[in-house]
Amino acid sequence: MKKLLLLSVAVASSLMANTVAQEAKDAGLAPIPSDKKALMKLIDNPNNPITDAKVELGKQLYFDPRLSKSGFISCNSCHNLSEGGDDGLEAAIGHKWTVNPHHLNSPTVYNSVFNSIQFWDGRSPHLEDQAQGPMQAAPEMAATKEHVAAVVSSMPEYVSAFKKIYGDDVKIDLAKVADTIAVFERTLVTPSRYDDFLNGDAKALTNAEQEGLKTFIQVGCTTCHTGVGLGGELNVFNAVNTYKYNNVGDFKGDANGMVRVPTLRNITQTGPYFHNGMMKTLPAAIKEMGRVQLGLDLSDKQVSEIETFLKALDGRKPAITMPILPASTDKTPLPDIN
Q: Are 184 and 53 in contact (CB under 8 A)?
A: no
Q: Are 117 and 263 in contact (CB under 8 A)?
A: no
Distances (CA, A) of 265 to 279, 309, 314: 17, 11, 6
Handedness of CA 122, 126, 129, 132 (dihedral sign): positive
HSE on the CB side for 16, CA within 13 Å?
Answer: 17
DSSP state of 123: -
Separation of alpha carbons 233 and 162, rounded Å: 33
Of the listed 140, 209, 288, 305, which one is catalytic? Answer: 140
Contacts 24+ apart (CB under 8 A), 217-223: 217/23, 217/24, 217/27, 217/29, 219/290, 219/294, 219/296, 219/298, 219/302, 219/306, 220/294, 220/296, 221/289, 221/294, 221/306, 222/27, 222/28, 222/29, 223/293, 223/294
Q: Which residues pair with 124 in a beta bridge?
A: 118
Q: Active site includes 90?
A: no
Q: Are 105 and 276 in contact (CB under 8 A)?
A: yes
Alpha helices in 72-192 (DSSP H): 75-78, 127-130, 132-136, 145-153, 156-166, 174-186
Q: Which residues pair with 279 in a beta bridge?
A: 273
Separation of alpha carbons 157 and 47, rounded Å: 25
Separation of alpha carbons 312 and 307, rounded Å: 9
Q: Which residues pair with 236 in a beta bridge?
A: 258
For the annotated catalytic residues, the residue numbers are 140
